[in-house]
Chain A
Amino acid sequence: MRDITLGQFVAGNSVIHRLDPRTKIGMMILYIVMTFLVKDIWFMSIPFLYLVLELILSGISLRYILNSLKPIRFLLILMFLLNLFFTKGENVLFGIDLGFWKLTGEAVLQSFFLSIRIILLVAGASMLTLTTSPIALTDGLEKLLSPLKIFHFPAHELAMMMTIALRFVPTLMDESDKIRNAQMSRGADFESGNIFKRVKSMIPILIPLFVSSFRKADELAIAMESRCYHGGDGRTRMHQLKFRIDDLFAILITLAFVAALIVILVLF
């Protein structure tokens, strides 16, 4: 429990790991565009190929990608079935025709197509969080969003909030553990009873946790002020994000995939 952080970063030193976080965010956006450009199940093989390439280069085990798909498995099944039922088509398969519903080839293809799109989307997003530390991701987002500051978009504030959240997740986990132990020692029962009873039994943990979070926020604000924090203006960073030649290659390769896809889509 203690080592849990947001995201599921797997430390490594592969080509993908070393890319600038901004590059990786850009790659992911282009990849998402690809999966949405494709309207036909067979052309899905192009973004799929791209994902496989990235996976191989990153040295991340396939297990992690499969794990990231676990939480959406019910959604996938549900969507598959709904499409099977509600997609209209002419081409009846296996003679299954119940009058009000028939199994059509179009429905099967459509169900597979949408499921694969979602799997590819989730797997692609996981590739980003698996190869980029949350801190790097935050820095990258801040930099990418900073041009929006002229429209008063709080890019720095958002990034600072994320940084602090990441810093305090393990601390608060620890704390909730301690409070839970303390209340259990006072005879609190978190394990039995129906759902309402269980939710109610969480109150003695949640309230102290809230109170403590507010106190932490207060103390942290004073400490930050004491260390001359005054918002993002005039702030520099020790670690500068730098584009390197690899980043250029990565972007070019991704663009080549997009271009190839567009050509194929236009031709066929």
Chain B
Amino acid sequence: MSIVINHLTYAYTQGGKPLDPTLKDLSFTIEEGSFLGIIGHTGSGKSTFVKHLNGLLPCEKGTVVVDGHDLSQKSERKTVRSLVGMVFQYPEYQLFAETVFEDVAFGPRNMKLDESEVKSRVENAMALVGLDQERFSDRSPFELSGGERRRAAIAGVLAMHPKYLVLDEPMAGLDPLGRREILALLETLRTESGCTIIMISHSMDDIANHATKVLVLEKGSVLMYDTPQSVFSHSEELQRIGLSVPGITKICIELNRKGIMIPASICTEDEFLTWFREGRQHA
């Protein structure tokens, strides 16, 4: 199964009149089990796009079909919302319940699951994000540290057992350790539960290291949709639209400038060091 986006176009309205479209004729398929990184300048339509994946914004022109559920059908929205989990920027701002347990249980309870199932899902989700049952269940989410609150909020989405997890800048504002924990969690989810990850990020290094596919949005249109190796080999084009490239790519560009022929597809540390170790062969 997969998410199929077909000719999706969307324009916000102001005072009853439609503005210039934020999304223009997007068509592509997000394969199940992939890790999709979405990059684009602020205002390129990334956030607007992901809001279509669970029907927060209506499909006015074009279609979004999640595992066969067409989101143009209003009745399908509820089903799709339990299939597609959404972690927005600074998700800790959505915490509201008296205890961490109650907050994480909000999603599963909205799905009308029975209480024993809710309990096991909450426990499961808290364990996944590394929040200890005993210590955190009965505490107020507002007493936690910044990193813990972020993880509690993510647990609230994971407890709904989404098949597709959409994250908008999930590491924003975290320190390097916090960033690494979240990335490790995403990898675990993908490899162990087969969860499809769709992540918006400004960190090209994280995208290069983790994504299996990269979507580049520019002014609401798809500029590229390919593997990270291929996308980041177009560094000039990315920089032209105001995006940066992974740290390793920057080094490769400098080396190229000095006349050293290093394959343009190298965009991670591992690939870079392997190339050196293997005697710097042309790819």
Residues of chain A touching chain B, judged by Cβ–Cβ distance below 8 Å, are 3, 175, 178-179, 181-189, 203-205, 207-208, 211-212
Contacts and interface: CB of A to CB of B under 8 A. Distances in A.
B88 A188 contact: no
A192 to B, nearest CB: 11
A252 B93 CA distance: 54
A68 to B, nearest CB: 17
A212 B93 contact: yes
B93 A208 contact: yes
Main secondary structure of the interface of A (DSSP, over half): helix
Contacts of B54: 185
A46 B91 CA distance: 59
A178 B88 contact: yes
Given A186-B157, A212-B93, A181 B51 contact: yes
A186 B96 contact: no
A186 B107 contact: yes
A166 B54 CA distance: 33
A208 B95 contact: yes
B201 interface: no
B88 A181 contact: yes
Nearest to A175: B93
Which size class do B's interface residues fall under? Answer: 20 to 34
B96 A182 contact: no
18 contacts: A3-B14, A178-B88, A182-B86, A182-B88, A182-B94, A184-B56, A186-B106, A186-B156, A187-B78, A187-B110, A188-B106, A188-B110, A204-B94, A208-B94, A208-B95, A208-B96, A211-B96, A212-B93
Contacts of A179: 93-94
A183 B157 CA distance: 10
Contacts of B157: 185-186
B93 A187 contact: no
A136 to B, nearest CB: 24
Contacts of A207: 96
A160 B106 CA distance: 39
